[in-house]
Amino acid sequence: MNINGVFIEDTFAEAFPMRATRIIITGINYKWARHAAETMTGFATSVIGCKVEAGIERELGNHETPDGRPGIAVLLFATDRKTLEAQLQARIGQCVLTCPTTAVFAGLEGEGQIALGKNLRYFGDGYQTSKQVDDHRYWRIPVMDGEFLCEETTGYQTAIGGGNLLVFARSLSQVLLACEAAIDAMSMLPNIILPFPGGGVRSGSKVGSKYKTLSASTNHPYCPTLKGLPDNVLDKNVEAVMEIVIDGLSVEDLNLAMRRGIEAICDLGKAQGIEKITGGNYGGKLGPHHFYLREIMDGDQI
């Protein structure tokens, strides 16, 4: 497929099952809510090294939050429920409980429940109190600026991690321009995050390594400095490749995000140095979710 001079390879992006939750962080204003959200989603780019992938989903207006204050919705993804719960507890305790004026609420009904304030309440040293409102229990923990309000549990559900696009360009500045356009377009959508810094990934990885202790290593067939190797796939015009990784709550969410990203890149076109878009896969060995680029652009997977 060729759109505006950009070749879209007839292949698929390979993704894998995850567990995900959403929480809502509120604060006296967006500044403090965002401080907490940005801190708790730090060091959360890849489950390979971080155990969890997390990011800010969107800002919430006062009418969208349980306490009527400015809020931030955060999504967290992990490979299993136990890890997701442990990471959520640690990050809320270290990064949100500590942040002035914040409160935390469940943001997902989900297939099951994991602890949110259920264990954090013990920080109150016996002075914590709780209140049941309908089916929701909230904990009030005394802190030095008043009290920290935290819902007892939040929902979690099955989700998908590792959806991706690989963008080939004639220069570093051009591949960054293309990826920034795609990232801006995808970031407007709900139910997804782009967990890597700014949404872009230069250190795309492959499964395995020549070193037995590593489960992943640099995706050398896509490195422009290694064009001389027989398995390098880059032609002479390509001098930079960037990956965009997408986590989403459903197949439909990832399909739509990938389509919006591809459309934004193709709007720039070959005139802006964009040569090709492809998907990262390992022949189906990584995960059961296969996002075929041609079907996404034809609308068959939307």
Tens of pLDDT, residues 20-32: 999 999 999 999 9
Instruction: Provide the pLDDT for residue 286.
Output: 80
Q: What are phi and psi of 292, to 5 degrees?
A: -80, 120
Instruction: Provide the pLDDT for residue 273.
Output: 96
Tell me how far apart the alpha carbons of residues 235 and 17 are, in angstroms, rounded to a whole number: 33
**Domains in the chain, please, with CATH?**
2-15+160-298 (3.30.70.520), 17-157 (3.30.70.520)
On the 0-12 / 13-18 / 19+ scale of CB atoms within 10 A, 244 is buried
Q: Is residue 212 within 8 Å of 74, Cβ to Cβ?
A: no
What residue type is 227 in one-letter code?
K
Q: Mind listing the pLDDT tens digit for each residue in 34-85?
A: 999 999 999 999 999 999 999 999 999 999 999 999 999 999 999 999 999 9
Calculate the average pLDDT of the chain. Answer: 95
- Which mean pLDDT values do the consecutive 10-residue runs of the chain (302 residues) have? 95 96 98 98 95 98 97 98 97 98 96 95 96 92 98 98 96 98 98 97 91 92 94 95 98 97 97 96 85 89 51
H helices within 78-171, ranges in order?
Answer: 81-91
- Strand runs labelled E in the chain: 2-3, 6-8, 12-26, 53-60, 71-78, 103-106, 112-115, 129-133, 136-143, 146-151, 153-169, 192-193, 205-207, 216-218, 240-248, 274-278, 289-292
For residue 267, the SS3 value is helix
Cross-strand pairs, 75: 22, 55
Residue 23 vs residues 53, 96, 111, 292: alpha-carbon distances, Å: 14, 11, 15, 31
Q: Is residue 71 within 8 Å of 33, Cβ to Cβ?
A: yes
* Token couple for 66: 């349980």
* Token couple for 188: 């407007």
- Percent of the chain having pLDDT more than 90? 92
Tell me how far apart the alpha carbons of residues 25 and 17 are, in angstroms, rounded to a whole number: 26
Instruction: Provide the pLDDT for residue 206.
Output: 87
